[in-house]
Structure 1
Amino acid sequence: MSSDADDPTHPVDQARRLAAEWFPDALSAVLAGSTVSGRATTTSDLDIAVLIEDGGETRRETVRFEGRLVELFIHTRAGLDELFAADTVSRRGVMQRMYADGLVLSERDGAAARIKRHAEDALREGPGALAPATVESRRYVLTDALDDLADTADVVERLAVAAVVLSTAADLLFDHCRAWTGGGKWLPRRLLEADPGRGGALLDGYRRLCEYGEPEEFADAAAEILTLAGGPLREGYARTWRAAPEPHPSAPPG
């Protein structure tokens, strides 16, 4: 990716200066996110993954550099292995995508290139299938939410229920496609990557409900995904409570 030599505020140039000034001894520094994907705006932050020598601290840090907000993902080799593992469990593949799609700002001895190949392999392999009990739980939640969506006439309640339908149906579609998930703005992007037809129908229906208060297309799209996962689940469903494990403290959201 080229930058405008006459514009010192170009985000790629700023990222290179930050890497050179703050992490001159890093094994590698990689710029990722909207700046690399072409979605950046004038207010977009910089997402930079920094590989440091063993013995350092794996952490995430938000800073400001030359007036621009920067999200730093700093890690050792062992720390990166842990982050890759955590992102595989969460099914989001955040760090894997940063390295697979990112722009190398600096590296020593081909460190960034090796991680890039590893990240690309992991992304191609995809996340594992959800446990049957988890799929069953998602089916139950989506069945209940679709019933609530049909029953409620209150606008605010309908929008709240629709958010549950969207996230749960998305989880089931990602699992059906063995695709990586996403949160926030990445949810619709990942849905369209995973299944442009069904994912697009779900998003179009959600937008129609939000804009015009018409839930029918949204409900139909979610019901189709529910069918892929095994269909509605009401009576007969049972579960045993288990404490959820604590998330890894350095794992970034995605």
Structure 2
Amino acid sequence: MFINRLEPVEAATQFISQYFANCQGAVLAGSVVRGEATKTSDLDIVVFIKDVPSPYRESLLAGGWPIEIFVHNLSSYRNYFDMDRKRAKPSLPRMVAEGLVLKDEGIMVSIQEEAKLLLADGPERWSAENIMIKRYFITDALEDFIGSTNSAEEIFIANTLAELVSEFILRTNGKWIGTSKWVIRSLKNYDEQFTEQFVEAFDFYYKTRNKEKVIDLVHFVLKPFGGPLFEGFSIGK
């Protein structure tokens, strides 16, 4: 895609020098820092500017790279940390914690420590009521999946089950969740053996349209919490 691109750290450093010379801190994060970059990877850069009125995100091209910038002042990032903890998707804390420091005027050590502590603490725990609600909706999707005779509809029901079950196993174990590629990464961070079982079940279904392994997986995940739930479920009564 980009033939004459700079090395990622060089490109990121030049970018900060050119566009954010007055910032108080900046880190390069994402796949290039983790050693997982592909030919379509971009540079994720978090920038801290004390007098920026409100946080913003912007996408642009520089140094032969697509660059995503996440700009915060010295307090707004904490609000995003808190929001990420509540939704259990630690996008900003992860970027900050793993980030390679590009510039630091004495703030990055403490901010990165905040991010690392938040990641180690994990997301907010689900309440018993929330677990019950999630069991019900997984059960509802499972019954749709079992009863469906429309192969096109089944694919999307299976997709829903994969999302709900991955979220359930991670949240009930106090782990972070994710979207897209971060679903499987989050599962691996939790339990690699379970992840293999999870992938095998859905892969087998998509290849053969045999539902058995997905059904067994769902029952396995729900069993410690009482199994599928329908009769007796009530909300808002």
Same fold by TM (over 0.5)?
yes
**How far apart are the structure 2 equivalents of 1:72 and 1:212?**
43
3-state DSSP of counterpart to 1:160? helix
Which stretches in structure 1 are left out of the alignment for 5+ residues? 1-6, 242-254
User: 1:1-254 to 2 correspondence within 5 Å?
Assistant: 9-109=6-106, 111-240=107-236
**How far apart are the structure 2 equivalents of 1:37 and 1:156?**
37
Q: Which moved more, 1:7-16 or 1:76-85?
A: 7-16
Which stretches in structure 2 are left out of the alignment for 5+ residues? none
Deviation at 1:175, TM superposition (A): 1.6
**How far apart are the structure 2 equivalents of 1:101 and 1:222?**
33
**How far apart are the structure 2 equivalents of 1:93 and 1:72?**
17
**How far apart are the structure 2 equivalents of 1:198 and 1:225?**
10
**How far apart are the structure 2 equivalents of 1:8 and 1:62?**
17
**How far apart are the structure 1 equivalents of 2:67 and 2:225?**
40
C-alpha offsets along residues 97-126 of structure 1, whole Å, 9 cap, x if unaligned?
A: 1111111111111x1221111111111111
Contact 1:176 1:228 survives alignment (8 Å):
no
3-state DSSP of counterpart to 2:233? coil
**Matched residue, 1:4:** none
Contact 2:52 2:72 survives alignment (8 Å):
no
- RMSD (Å), alpha carbons: 1.7
**How far apart are the structure 2 equivalents of 1:216 and 1:44?**
37
Contact 1:191 1:200 survives alignment (8 Å):
no
Deviation at 1:228, TM superposition (A): 2.7
3-state DSSP of counterpart to 1:120? helix
Contact 1:170 1:191 survives alignment (8 Å):
yes
Name the CA shift for 1:19/1:89 in 2 (closer, same or farther; >3 Å).
Answer: same
TM-score if structure 1 supplies the norm length? 0.87
Deviation at 1:55, TM superposition (A): 4.7
TM-score if structure 2 supplies the norm length? 0.93
**How far apart are the structure 1 equivalents of 2:145 and 2:105?**
55
Q: Count residues in correspondence.
A: 234
Deviation at 1:230, TM superposition (A): 3.1
3-state DSSP of counterpart to 2:83? helix
**How far apart are the structure 1 equivalents of 2:225 and 2:9?**
43
3-state DSSP of counterpart to 2:235? coil
**How far apart are the structure 1 equivalents of 2:27 and 2:170?**
27
**How far apart are the structure 1 equivalents of 2:46 and 2:225?**
36
**How far apart are the structure 2 equivalents of 1:101 and 1:55?**
23
Deviation at 1:176, TM superposition (A): 2.1
Name the CA shift for 1:180/1:30 in 2 (closer, same or farther; >3 Å).
Answer: same
- 4+ long deviations beyond 3 Å: none
Deviation at 1:8, TM superposition (A): 5.3
**How far apart are the structure 1 equivalents of 2:192 and 2:226?**
21
**How far apart are the structure 2 equivalents of 1:211 and 1:227?**
26
Task: Name the % identity.
Answer: 29
Deviation at 1:229, TM superposition (A): 3.3
**How far apart are the structure 1 equivalents of 2:224 and 2:20?**
48
**How far apart are the structure 1 equivalents of 2:190 and 2:79?**
25
2:163 maps to amino acid:
S
